[in-house]
Amino acid sequence: MSAPLLLEPVFHDKIWGGTTLAERYHFSIPSQTTGEAWVISGHANGVELIKNGTYAGMSLAQVWHNHPELFDNKNPERPFPLLVKFLDAHQDLSVQVHPDDAYAGEHHGELGKTESWYIVAAEPGAEIYYGHSAQTEAEFRALVDAGDWEQLLTKVPVKAGDFFYVPAGTLHALGAGTFVLETQQSSDVTYRVYDFDRRDAQTGALRELHLEDAKNVTTVPFKPEQPSQVTVTRPGVVITTLVEAAYFNVFKWELDGEAVFEQTAPYTLATIIEGSASLMVDGVDYSLEAGQPFILPNDVKTWQLKGQAQLIVSTPGPASR
């Protein structure tokens, strides 16, 4: 019998984190500075366990490798390609950049990191750092070497419901007062460029920067990629396509009542960001609260959702299949 895979989040303490994950979703967070909840992850730095059905107690990575048919996975040796997480930016994150597949593979044996942000909540006046002003590599290197962040960095005001596509090579950071659902390649490679002169809580030393790697991988000049969004209204649900890209496709589902869906991808990843819903698969009903992540594997061909909820949903793009 086909069934969804319900997952247990993995939490990460961060110098910039807070308590929003507990306040918003009643998660049992490990500290008052919990910055991330990896809600769908097969990455070694955040091994998630499945909590229901046949595969309960197994990690997503184990199921991916041992049961490739559940994902129409033609290459079980490669890692699970996507990662979904919540980020609670109680303070500014470090300004950073991620490498592409080629650079990350050569230097770290990992995938690159293209990502996207859906702004779940934002305090009044909240901003992100998104891109930079340098027009040439020489100008970029000079501004980084001089530490002229005011001149280099580009700030963008944000509000709940905004969406940003952040390809590898994009200089970026979440600003204080933002709470985000991130869909990304399954990679944990980050090059810090500027960290507001913060010190490690345990060692007292300034946190490490990675300026040479950052100079090597940052796209210059910055050309923002903000895909046009398409909204379709169906019985019981409004579906907005936020991005269709090489590594992932991201959608927002606004559920209002009862809606029926068909599997059109190898598998579907979903997280409820607001409200609650019941999920019906193969005659079995699953109760889903806000914050709950789940996967609809390849053998789930149709399903029904009922309730009042907002979900961020993703499927693998061509480069992740």
Give CA–CA dist 188/186, Å, rounded: 7
Give CA–CA dist 163/238, Å, rounded: 17
**Per the domain annotation, does 211 fall within a domain?**
yes
Whether residues 158 and 186 fall in one domain:
yes
Whether residues 174 and 243 fall in one domain:
no
* Low-confidence residues in the chain, pLDDT < 50: none
Q: How many domains does the chain have?
A: 2
Residue 226 has what pLDDT? 82
**Per the domain annotation, does 183 fall within a domain?**
yes
Residue 151 tokens read as: 């001149």
Taking 3-state DSSP, the helix, strand and coil percentages for the chain, each rounded to the nearest 5, stand at: 15, 45, 40
Domain boundary among 173, 189, 217: 217
Whether residues 205 and 249 fall in one domain:
no
Residue 292 has what pLDDT? 98
Whether residues 157 and 127 fall in one domain:
yes
CB hemisphere CA count around 163 (13 angstroms): 19
Domain boundary among 164, 185, 217: 217
Whether residues 192 and 270 fall in one domain:
no
- Which phi and psi (to 5°) does residue 151 adopt? -75, -35
Whether residues 72 and 138 fall in one domain:
yes
Whether residues 82 and 208 fall in one domain:
yes
**Per the domain annotation, does 243 fall within a domain?**
yes
DSSP secondary structure code for residue 285 in this structure: E
**Which residue, 255, 271, 268, is CA-closest to 295?**
268
Domain residue limits at 187: 5-217
Binding-site residue set: 98, 115, 172
Residue 132 has what pLDDT? 99
Residues 6+ apart with CB under 8 A from 37: 9, 10, 11, 12, 21, 27, 29, 85, 86, 291
Whether residues 140 and 200 fall in one domain:
yes
CATH of residue 159: 2.60.120.10
Residue 201 has what pLDDT? 81
**Per the domain annotation, does 251 fall within a domain?**
yes
**Per the domain annotation, does 137 fall within a domain?**
yes
Whether residues 158 and 27 fall in one domain:
yes
What is the DSSP secondary-structure string of 45-60? TS-PBB-SGGGTT-BH
Binding-site residue set for Zn(2+): 98, 115, 172
Give the active site residues: 192
pLDDT digits (tens, 9 = 90+) for 143-186: 999 999 999 999 999 999 999 999 999 999 999 999 999 999 99
**Per the domain annotation, does 224 fall within a domain?**
no
**Per the domain annotation, does 80 fall within a domain?**
yes
pTM of the model: 0.98
**Per the domain annotation, does 25 fall within a domain?**
yes
Report strand pairing: 82-89 vs 34-40.
Answer: antiparallel
